[in-house]
């Protein structure tokens, strides 16, 4: 019996297949993969088994529901060869209603639908396979795991916006995201048992979506994303923090309606908007256009500036951890950010950084800088297994 962990983004579906283990042992990874390009007509399927075998297939054709069904069939009847005990889902927004993982049913889906305006890219993408699996396999348990849960205990003043109190009472507050990733890093730091639990730690989840999390005792005490996943750092196609007057200007002077604003904020800003060419860091690094360099400089600047804000919450910083696609694989970007964090004690070892070592700071630096791989699918599988055992 196995657990399927689905980690669905706006343009890709990552997954992990895990065997259940006896007792309280966490589920064991069997294979992991990705269906990339799901927002286009030619999605590509890649998977890697723990024995090293790789699968690479073109999954063109069919709608997203059909691809979900095809994935279940492939896992149970193809090389995966496992009978599914449950499916765990990453859900970006749980709002005030959901703190812990929850068994999915019609009522849960209805409540999560009310949060679509707060995560229009991700929430519908997570709910669609839930509905399809419920129709296709009504007896297969499904569990929702929430990116907001890790930050659920954020308290005033961190959680508060300077808005009329009535809006806060309606739920307009800072929620924070990328929580499954931060939970994975917190677990890794705890397992390393090298003092992180007693330190002031900032973790940078840098990918197409990007944020920072300030941790004390490996619990979230502040984060850059807020009410929605638009806030905070500059991202691949999202702007991060903006002067709200810009949005008023675009409405009043340029005639932007809500739909046009939403599309711009989610799809046309960030690295893509500033560079005018790409949201992909590798492509920008390879480009000789000055706009590409300007986009990367702004990204590094915004990470450094928001790091200072997180350090203010913590009263200092002892450790800085890179994770996420850019954080784990973008050595050049890590170096740019590290150079801007020199005043906080960061000193990057160029050789260790180029090699992607676990620790990339020099012994002379006052700030320990690390690179750690996140494991959102592993966290989803663990939460799903625990909920199944309790029920």
Distance CA 361, CA 228 (A): 33
Q: Within 315-390, where are the H helices?
A: 324-329, 331-340, 350-355, 376-390
Distance CA 104, CA 109 (A): 7
Do the bridges between strand 319-323 and strand 368-371 make them parallel or antiparallel, or are there none, so unpaired?
parallel
Question: Could you confirm whether 147 is annotated as catalytic?
Answer: yes
End-to-end CA distance of the chain: 16
For the domain spanning 2-146, the CATH number is: 3.30.420.40
Rg of the chain on CA atoms, in Å: 21
For residue 373, which of 236, 206, 217, 213 has the smallest C-alpha distance? 206
pTM of the model: 0.95
The arrangement of secondary structure in 194-371, i.e. its CATH architecture, is 2-Layer Sandwich (3.30)
Distance CA 207, CA 17 (A): 23
Residues paired with 12 in a beta bridge: 36
Domain borders along the chain are 2-146, 194-371
Length, in residues, of the chain? 391
Tens of pLDDT along the chain (391 residues)? Answer: 799 999 987 667 899 999 987 777 889 999 999 987 656 557 788 999 888 888 888 887 667 778 888 889 888 887 657 899 999 999 999 999 999 999 999 999 999 999 999 999 899 999 999 999 999 999 999 999 999 999 999 999 999 999 999 999 999 999 999 999 999 999 999 999 999 999 999 999 999 999 999 999 999 999 999 999 999 999 999 999 999 999 999 999 999 999 999 999 999 999 999 999 999 999 999 999 999 999 999 999 999 999 999 999 999 999 999 999 999 999 999 999 999 999 999 999 999 999 999 999 999 999 999 999 999 999 999 999 999 888 7
List 51, 147, 193, 222, catalytic entry: 147
């Amino acid at each position: 019996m196995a657990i399927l962990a689905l980690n669905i983004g706006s343009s890709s579906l990552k997954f992990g297949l895990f065997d259940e283990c006896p007792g309280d042992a966490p589920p064991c990874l069997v294979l992991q993969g990705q269906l990339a390009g799901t927002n286009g007509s030619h999605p590509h399927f890649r998977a890697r088994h723990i024995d090293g075998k790789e699968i690479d297939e073109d999954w063109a054709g069919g709608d997203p529901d059909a691809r979900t069904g095809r994935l279940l069939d492939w896992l149970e009847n193809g090389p995966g060869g496992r009978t599914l005990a449950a499916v765990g889902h990453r859900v970006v927004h749980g709002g005030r209603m959901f703190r812990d993982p929850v068994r999915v049913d019609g009522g849960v889906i209805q409540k999560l639908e009310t949060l679509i305006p707060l995560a229009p890219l991700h929430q519908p993408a997570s709910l669609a396979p839930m509905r399809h699996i419920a129709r296709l396999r009504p007896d297969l348990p499904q569990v929702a795991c929430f990116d907001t849960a890790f930050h659920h205990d954020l308290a005033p003043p961190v959680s508060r916006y300077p808005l009329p109190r009535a809006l806060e009472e309606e739920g307009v507050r800072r929620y924070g995201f990328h929580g499954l990733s931060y939970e994975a890093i917190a677990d890794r730091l705890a397992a390393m048992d090298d003092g992180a639990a007693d330190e002031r730690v900032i973790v940078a989840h840098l990918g197409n979506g990007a944020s920072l999390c300030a941790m004390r005792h490996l619990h979230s005490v502040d984060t850059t994303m807020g009410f929605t996943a638009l806030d905070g750092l500059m991202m691949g196609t999202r702007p991060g923090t903006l002067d709200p007057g810009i949005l008023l200007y675009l409405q009043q002077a340029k005639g932007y309606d809500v739909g046009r604003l939403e599309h711009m904020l989610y799809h046309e800003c960030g690295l893509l908007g500033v560079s005018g060419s790409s949201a992909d860091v590798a492509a920008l690094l390879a480009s000789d256009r000055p706009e590409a360099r300007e986009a990367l400089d702004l990204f590094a600047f915004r990470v450094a500036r928001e790091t200072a804000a997180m350090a203010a919450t913590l009263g200092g910083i002892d450790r800085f951890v890179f994770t996420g696609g850019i954080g784990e694989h973008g050595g050049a970007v890590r170096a740019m950010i590290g150079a801007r964090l020199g005043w906080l004690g960061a000193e990057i070892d160029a050789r260790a950084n180029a090699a992607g070592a676990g620790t990339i700071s020099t012994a002379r630096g006052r700030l320990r800088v690390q690179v750690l791989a996140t494991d959102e699918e592993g966290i989803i599988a663990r939460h799903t297994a625990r909920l199944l055992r309790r029920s």
